[in-house]
Each structure stands twice: as C-alpha cells, then as structure tokens.
Amino acid sequence: MRKRTGRTAVLLRASFVFVILLVSFATAQEKSSSGESLRSVAERYWDLRMGGKFEETYKVEDKEGLPPFETYRGEAGKIRGLDIASYRVKDASEAGGKGLVIVEFLLRFQGPPKPIPEDMKDQWVYKEGRWLHVFPK
C-alpha cells in the first residue's frame, strides 16, 4: 500500500507543478497579446495622425475631456509642422486598463547633420473592450 501512496504523492506533486506552469504560461500569453494589441492600435493611430486623417484619429480618442473637433484638429495638426524624418512605436505596456506607448520621432533641425531622436509618452485607456488614446490637455 505504501508504494501506491508514494506514487500517488509523486503524481499529485507533478500534476500540481504542471498546473502552476500552465497557469503562468497562460497569464504571460494574455499579457503579451494585450500589449501587442495596444501596440497595433497605437501604430495605426500614429499612421493616421501623421497622415493628417484627424477625422479617423478623433474616433479613437477617449471622449472624456476631448475638445470639439475643430480645436482637436488644430492641436493634433501641430505635430505635422515639425520636420520629422521618421517615427515609430518604440514600446507599448499596459497595467490595470491603462496603457503607455512610447513613440520615437527622429527630428531634423537646421544645424545638426543627423536627425535627433525624441521620445514621447503617449497615454491610452482600455474602455468598452477597446483601446482609446488619451489626448493631452
């Protein structure tokens, strides 16, 4: 009987470890896919915004504290006045329904021969099943 109890204990321990590993892996995958989702939404948003498609980006903004469209278009369009060599979403992270996206811009100026990198922190919020951009006030 002892051999059977010993085997049962080993089997239970192995099962417990397997379940813990499975749960850890599932949680890591969930966080990763959420981060990728935020990244893809942010990339699409910035492609639209840099392309001057403010009607489209306005739809992705969190409505809380958002100015009327005409004011928004003027504010959002200011970035297009800079001499931007390129831009990219450098990082995307999320915690508790809030997202932080780092957008890197390479800015050209008259003096320096090479574009200068400048990072911007971009706030996002997860509401009603989707990521919304928090327009800076």
CATH number for 80: 3.10.450.50
Contacts of 66 (CB under 8 A, 6+ apart): 58, 72, 135
pLDDT digits (tens, 9 = 90+) for 76-91: 999 888 999 999 999 9
Give the chain's mean pLDDT. 80
Domain assignment of residue 91, given as a range: 34-133
22 within a domain of the structure (yes/no): no
For the residues of 46-66, what is the DSSP string, one character each?
HHHHHTT-HHHHHHTB-STTP
28 within a domain of the structure (yes/no): no
| Res 3: pLDDT | 54
Pick 115 or 22 by higher pLDDT: 115
Residue percentage of the chain with pLDDT more than 70 = 74
Average pLDDT on 16-32 reads: 34
7 within a domain of the structure (yes/no): no
Rounded CA separation 38/91 (Å): 10
